[in-house]
């Protein structure tokens, strides 16, 4: 690990003053579950580490008439400890329970989960975010078992590693960002981007900005929602594929449904074709199967990850049926 300065600000304003215009100027430390390992591997080489654990106002989970706010320092353990939140949003509970390590639950923050870097082994081995060698990607002709089957038409083949992004996007969540030019709030769906060059990142966050909160709108509390994940191992590991769904049912038919796939694309992948299948229909096992088939239309598996197509199909069907059972 390279030498670095260490700062421990007490306010968001102090935090912003310690960041800089370049990614190597500073790095935010919250739970540190991803940053520390990335620094040990020289994937991240910040000149300054800014520990925000002592920053006032970033902790806790609060629910009001306008919605639920999850502070940037709220951990997975905090999420699981909020019984009312877990009852209203089983999709979040299911994603949280998928992270089995007590240490990860205790240290890992929800905001940190959204900002963690890709687990692509080419990236972690020092070949860069786009895994290039002599101007050519190593992924298509290499070991691509865990890479993208959607959104891989461009140079990015890694998959978004976030466990909580798919359920939060399905629930219509937004993320609040503070920077030197003030605060902004953006949809979580719009937060993620597929980079086209090594100078870009996997989200719209700038080097001198920090996430302060994630908000779930009050309207989401009435939605049926669920997450279904497939993992290679039940111990500490990242999923191979996930699906998170959220929808309202009125008069027996589905309204405002969202289907979000995880770990299959460089960004959380919205399956709009599946959403169209369930819209205005009385959801059943047959329709869930139809939606699952639609969700994987247009998949572009690589040489070693075609299995992900079937996993994604299964995840969508089982997530839809799990959410439907909430009203049974």
258-281 pLDDT, tens digit per residue, is 999 999 999 999 999 999 999 999
Contact 108, 33 (CB under 8 A): yes
User: What does the pLDDT look like over 21-47, one tens digit per residue?
Assistant: 999 999 999 999 999 999 998 999 999
Q: Cα-atom radius of gyration of the chain, to the nearest Å?
A: 19
Q: Is the pTM above the cut of 0.85?
A: yes
Contact 253, 282 (CB under 8 A): yes
DSSP secondary structure string, 184-195?
Answer: EEEEHHHHB---
Contact 112, 76 (CB under 8 A): no
Closest CA to 249 of 282, 221, 219: 282
Cα torsion 291, 87, 111, 34: sign: negative
Q: What is the residue-level pLDDT of the chain in tens, covering all 328 positions?
A: 889 999 999 999 999 999 999 999 999 999 999 999 999 989 999 999 999 999 999 999 999 999 999 999 999 999 999 999 999 999 999 999 999 888 889 999 999 999 999 999 999 999 999 999 999 999 999 999 999 999 999 999 999 999 999 999 999 999 999 999 999 999 999 999 999 999 999 999 999 999 999 999 999 999 999 999 998 866 567 899 999 999 999 988 999 899 999 999 999 999 999 999 999 999 999 999 999 999 999 999 999 999 999 999 999 999 999 999 986 5
How far apart (Å, rounded) are the C-alpha atoms in residues 2 and 56?
Answer: 29
Tokens describing residue 216: 């779930």
């Amino acid at each position: 690990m390279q030498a670095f300065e260490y700062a421990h600000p007490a306010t968001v304003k102090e935090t912003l003053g310690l960041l800089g215009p370049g990614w190597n100027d500073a790095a935010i430390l919250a739970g540190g579950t991803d940053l520390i390992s990335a620094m040990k591997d020289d994937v991240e080489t910040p000149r300054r580490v800014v520990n925000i654990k002592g920053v006032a106002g970033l902790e806790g989970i609060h629910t009001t008439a306008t919605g639920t706010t999850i502070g940037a320092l709220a951990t997975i353990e905090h999420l699981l400890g909020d019984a009312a939140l877990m009852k209203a949003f089983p999709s979040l509970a299911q994603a949280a329970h998928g992270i089995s390590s007590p240490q990860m639950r205790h240290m890992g923050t929800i905001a940190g989960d959204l900002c963690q870097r890709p687990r692509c082994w080419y990236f972690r081995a020092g070949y860069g975010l786009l895994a290039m060698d002599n101007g050519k990607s190593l992924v298509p002709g290499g070991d691509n078992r865990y890479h993208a089957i959607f959104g891989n038409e461009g140079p990015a083949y890694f998959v978004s590693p976030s466990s909580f992004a798919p359920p939060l996007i399905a629930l219509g969540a937004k993320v609040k960002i503070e920077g030197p030019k003030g605060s902004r709030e953006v949809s979580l769906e719009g937060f993620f981007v597929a980079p086209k060059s090594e100078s870009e990142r996997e989200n719209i966050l700038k080097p001198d900005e920090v996430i302060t909160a994630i908000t779930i709108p009050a309207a989401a509390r009435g939605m049926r929602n669920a997450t279904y994940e497939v993992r290679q191992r039940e111990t500490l590991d990242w999923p191979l594929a996930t699906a998170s769904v959220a929808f309202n049912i009125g008069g027996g038919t589905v309204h405002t449904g969202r289907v979000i796939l995880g770990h299959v694309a460089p960004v959380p992948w919205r399956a709009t074709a599946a959403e169209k299948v369930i819209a205005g229909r009385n959801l059943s096992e047959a329709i869930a199967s139809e939606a699952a088939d639609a969700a994987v239309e247009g998949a572009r598996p690589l040489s070693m990850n075609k299995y992900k197509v079937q996993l994604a199909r299964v995840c969508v069907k089982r997530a839809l049926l799990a959410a439907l059972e909430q009203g049974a």
